[in-house]
Amino acid sequence: MAIIPVELAGRSYEVRVASGLLSDVAGQCGKLLRKKRVPIVTDTNVAQHWRDTVAQSLGDAGYEPHFLVLEPGEGAKSWQVLELVMDWLLAEEVERGDHILALGGGVIGDLTGFAAAILKRGCGFIQLPTTLLAQVDSSVGGKTAINTSAGKNLVGAFHQPALVLADLDTLDTLPAREMRAGYAEVIKYGILGDRDFFDWCRAEGPEVVTGGKSAQEFAVTQSVKAKARIVAEDERETTGARALLNLGHTFGHALEAQTGFSDRLLHGEGVALGMVLAARYSARRGYISDADAALVAAAMASAGLPSEISALGLNCDGATLAGHMLHDKKMDAGTLPFVLLRSIGEAFLDKQVSLEDVAEFLSEELQAH
């Protein structure tokens, strides 16, 4: 088992990476479970595969698992579903010292974490991420949120989990498309800060996606270590270090908004295409070579991820896409910082980007390649 500490003053916790963690969830959670009743939030897809495993582990240890099973998908990150979750947790008599289990991907983790943040002004929660994307990104670092009509993740809180259990066995039940989407967040760590890891991903990426356990363990462990270092340095995204984790996200969220936050473009797919666009825009501004930008695009394409915006068939222009960025939560005094590249392995925050220039660039991309 790999154990990665997330070092935060007074709120440090562990991320554990191994196979078989959910079948030992009672033993792994230890003293964090104070009462017999254990509230667990999940969705129908995850419940089909892992509800019985978690229930048996808890039941064998003398606990009473209580499940709230939601419909899957980004639509669960809404005011209406948040209200449903809150009412259920209150009916379950969850107290501030208790811990809610979030069993699922990024949607369940974000939603449950936000509910935990606001329930009785804050109670504990444990992340049980069941997708590659959640294991390497959203389950670590304490960002929780729901979506609104104005945009993605605009209502939320920083609320760190007490523990993260990344069970590699859960990856065996994922559709190939979900694995590829999660892989985008793995390769992101190489592009933004570790050229050697980027090169490893280019060579071993297919093994991660197709089920090679040793490759998966290395990919998840290295990704979590990278994120843990950044979160420890800049928990609330105030110094700029954590903002680098948003590489590809500003472009990606605009594409997600244009496609209605639907299965037409999964979050990881949006991030992958967003990183390609960030690399090409970096080249446009003279920071990196066209060859490096092409290398990023090729890495995405070889992993089966989208690398051309024109392939989405969007019925809009660059100004429309740039308009979605006006609702980005990173807007600061009317300007939007962009995470761009000085090289593959060196990202930086550019606060001098003109959205008009971005709109022109996106219009060109929509018609090119």
3-state SS record for 216-252: HHHHHHHHHHHHHHHHHHCCCCCCCCHHHHHCCHHHH
323 and 358 in contact (C-beta within 8 Å)? Answer: no
* Average pLDDT, consecutive stretches of 10 residues, N- to C-terminus, the chain (369 residues): 94 96 97 96 98 98 98 94 98 97 97 98 98 97 93 92 98 95 97 97 92 95 97 89 94 93 91 98 98 97 94 93 86 83 97 94 89
Model's pTM, two decimal places?
0.93
Query: How much is the pLDDT for 261?
Result: 82
Catalytic residue among 178, 235, 237, 365: 237
Phi, psi of 206 (to 5 degrees): -55, -35
Catalytic residue among 77, 188, 267, 280: 267
Which two structure tokens, joined as six digits, stand for 203?
Answer: 């060579």
> 66 an active-site residue?
no
Given 246, 256, 284, 365, the catalytic residue? 246
Task: Give CA–CA dist 109/127, Å, rounded.
Answer: 7
The predicted structure's pLDDT at residue 331: 76
Q: Which of 152, 225, 249, 284 is catalytic?
A: 249
324 part of the active site: no
Which pLDDT belongs to residue 238?
Answer: 83
Q: Which residues contact 326 (CB under 8 A, 6 or more apart)?
A: 336, 355
Active site residue 185: yes
Three-state DSSP class for residue 95: coil
Catalytic residue among 77, 99, 143, 225: 143
pLDDT at 353: 93
Q: What is the per-residue pLDDT for 44?
A: 98
Instruction: From the candidates 253, 280, 284, 324, give the one annotated as an active-site residue.
Output: 253
Predicted confidence at residue 333, as pLDDT, reads 64
**Known catalytic residue: 121?**
yes
In single-letter form, the type of residue at position 51 comes to: R
What pLDDT is recorded for position 330?
74
Q: Is 151 left (phi over 0), alpha (psi -120 to 50) or beta?
A: left
Residue 249 bears catalytic tag:
yes
* pLDDT on residue 248: 97
Catalytic residue among 74, 178, 185, 256: 185
Q: Is 143 assigned a catalytic role?
A: yes
188 among known catalytic residues:
no
Residue 41 amino acid letter: V
The residue from 99, 188, 225, 227 that is catalytic is 227
Q: Active-site residue among 242, 280, 284, 324?
A: 242
User: Rounded to whole angstroms, how far apart are CA atoms 78 and 97?
Assistant: 26
Quick one: pLDDT at residue 52?
98
Write down the pLDDT at residue 185: 96
Examine the residue annotation and report whether 253 is marked as an active-site residue of this protein: yes
